[in-house]
Amino acid sequence: MSDTPNSVLTAKGIAKNYGPVVALRSVDLSVEPGEIHALLGANGAGKSTFVKVLAGVIHQDAGTNHINGDPVSFKMPNEAAEAGIATVFQDPALIPDLSLDQNLTISGLQHRDVEPWLERLKLANYDFGLLARDVPLATRRLIDLARALALDPQLLMLDEITAALTPEQADLVFDVMREWKRMNRSVLFISHRLGEVLSICDVATILRNGRDVANFSLDGVEESELVAAMLGEALAGAAPAADSGLTSSVADDTDVVLKAIDLDFRGKVNGISFDLRRGEVLGLTALEGQGQDELFALLSGDHRPNTGEIIVNGEPMVARSPYDAIRKGLVFVPADRQEALLPQRSVRENLAMPLYNRIERWFNLRRDEGKRVGAAIERLDIDTRAASQVQRLSGGNRQKVTIGRWLVEDFEVLLCFDPTRGIDIQTKTQIYELLREVAAGGASVLIYSSELREIPLVCDRVLVMYDGAIVHEQPAATATEEILLTAAHGLEVVSS
Ligand SMILES: Nc1ncnc2c1ncn2[C@@H]1O[C@H](COP(=O)(O)OP(=O)(O)O)[C@@H](O)[C@H]1O
Ligand SMILES: [Mg+2]
């Protein structure tokens, strides 16, 4: 557990900022031979950033790293591979527009290198001529793993690989992990599924706010103890999350603007029902891969539910495309800002985008519309020196534009998916203020956030999703981090 002369990996004081965002403050961690080491922590704790530093994908601002006692400082991922580290990253690493074979080639591998592993992962004879984008996510994750295993690493790092897998597929991954242990090699394993962590891992290091706050053997430990360790000092206070002064209370009997009734979708969304009231900011939180992506795809008209209904202002919505949802007044702000904006256009043009829906009006805004766009620019407080091209804006400012765009046209419900991920605190606060204004203006907001500590800052009410279902609901004012984290892990919330 603690650093020994034999440690495979010894990281000390690893720190990393993304501009104003502090991702890692200082992390110490060592991994021993023959050890399956869990790296745990709430969303945003810094797990993926730590893995990326070790893998040479990003470079730390401070701290040292040793492999088998030798100091290393990787500039490129292939240097980590040569030193015996292979990684399956949280974000799928295959390039979507290349075939699987081409993806192998660019990582310096051939099909025969991965073949034995594909067999182990029940993917023998899989068609590697397929474009990666046409391959299901779970299969892509397994191919990522086969690619990592083909490097024959001494240390295998797996960042939330099981989130997308079926239990049967996850078992195949566990078999490989056990084999690594038998060979006296090591695994660094990240997963929110605490049951699997306890059954397969030997020790755990807990990250919180970019620091390692605990390190212990998992012998005889229970799931609730892991959650408590992740909460760290927050547990002691157990007070409701800080009151930002932003939230309001919405009377229970206010009109329901959006009603979801028993939504089911491909086994990922299982019987979801909820009401969103006028003027309400409703929060949704969940760990990775609990069906939140699919739920938002249903609400924004990107998919249709297998069963169940979406009612907007008392009328069922049958959306064949996102455009149908927009016409019903449901507008969507995706997490990926690139996807939502025209990068080479100005802030003004991007803000006016919803008004351009009708093609004949392109570049032909009515005067009052021009004014609204102007007012939105002022409201958003965006540095206009960079305003001529949205791609020159910082991530936070880009996100303000994606939300601000909808301020120029009337809508009923703003669907926001993880709008503040990777954004500095100050811009986050501005985005929350913007969302509260939207609600105060009579519209409603459904916001999914992976950073569950932040949800109570902006929401009136919180829903927690686990395994495709809503497992917990409560007023945001009393939603402690302990409650949210416990519910998000599918554990029973005892007191509230
Ligand atoms: N590319 C990035 N740019 C800006 N901030 C980022 C980036 N990647 C991660 N962050 C931020 O760094 C923090 C740690 O993120 P991450 O390492 O992904 O945490 P975890 O994997 O534990 O959920 C979070 O606050 C996240 O928003
Ligand atoms: Mg992560």
- Assess if residue 368 is contained within a domain: yes
Residues 46 and 140 occupy one common structural domain: yes
* CATH number for position 110: 3.40.50.300
Residues 6 or more apart whose Cβ sits within 8 Å of residue 437? none
Where a domain ends, among 201, 236, 271?
A: 236
241 band by pLDDT with thresholds 50, 70 and 90:
very low
158 in ligand 1 pocket by Cβ < 6 Å? Answer: no
92 band by pLDDT with thresholds 50, 70 and 90:
confident
419 in ligand 1 pocket by Cβ < 6 Å? Answer: no
> What is the distance between the alpha carbons of residues 100 and 113, in angstroms, rounded to a whole number?
13
Residues 289 and 361 occupy one common structural domain: yes
* Per-residue pLDDT at 390: 75
Where a domain ends, among 236, 268, 287?
A: 236
More reliable by pLDDT, 362 or 121: 121
Residues 223 and 267 occupy one common structural domain: no
pLDDT tens digit sequence for 176-233: 999 999 999 999 999 989 999 999 999 999 999 999 999 999 999 999 899 888 887 5
Chain mean pLDDT for the chain = 87
- Assess if residue 296 is contained within a domain: yes
Ligand nearest to the CA of 46: 1
- For residue 86, the cross-strand partners are 156
For the chain, what is the domain count? 2
396 in ligand 1 pocket by Cβ < 6 Å? Answer: no
- Assess if residue 496 is contained within a domain: no
Residues 45 and 103 occupy one common structural domain: yes
Residues 288 and 162 occupy one common structural domain: no
21 in ligand 1 pocket by Cβ < 6 Å? Answer: yes
Ligand 1 centre and the CA of 49: distance in Å?
Answer: 6
Q: Which residue out of 21, 159, 160 has the highest number of ligand 1 atoms within 8 Å of its CB and is therefore the one to mutate?
A: 21
- Assess if residue 493 is contained within a domain: no
Residues 287 and 217 occupy one common structural domain: no
- Say how many C-beta atoms besides its own lie within 10 A of residue 204's C-beta: 25
421 in ligand 1 pocket by Cβ < 6 Å? Answer: yes
Protein residue with its CA nearest to atom 10 in ligand 1: 422
- Assess if residue 122 is contained within a domain: yes
Residues 70 and 170 occupy one common structural domain: yes
- Assess if residue 248 is contained within a domain: no
Residues 123 and 180 occupy one common structural domain: yes
Average pLDDT on 347-374 reads 63
Protein residue with its CA nearest to atom 4 in ligand 1: 422
- Assess if residue 338 is contained within a domain: yes
Residue 243 pLDDT greater than 70, yes or no: no
Most confident of 10-14, 228-232, 442-446: 10-14
Residues 264 and 152 occupy one common structural domain: no
Where a domain ends, among 180, 204, 236?
A: 236
> What is the distance between the alpha carbons of residues 319 and 196, in angstroms, rounded to a whole number?
38
Residue 268 pLDDT greater than 70, yes or no: yes
> What is the distance between the alpha carbons of residues 76 and 117, in angstroms, rounded to a whole number?
25
Ligand 2 centre and the CA of 51: distance in Å?
Answer: 9
- Assess if residue 2 is contained within a domain: no
Residues 117 and 263 occupy one common structural domain: no
Residues 225 and 318 occupy one common structural domain: no
Q: Which domain holds residue 117?
A: 9-236
Average pLDDT on 139-164 reads 94
Residues 231 and 288 occupy one common structural domain: no
* Per-residue pLDDT at 362: 45
422 in ligand 1 pocket by Cβ < 6 Å? Answer: yes
91 band by pLDDT with thresholds 50, 70 and 90:
confident
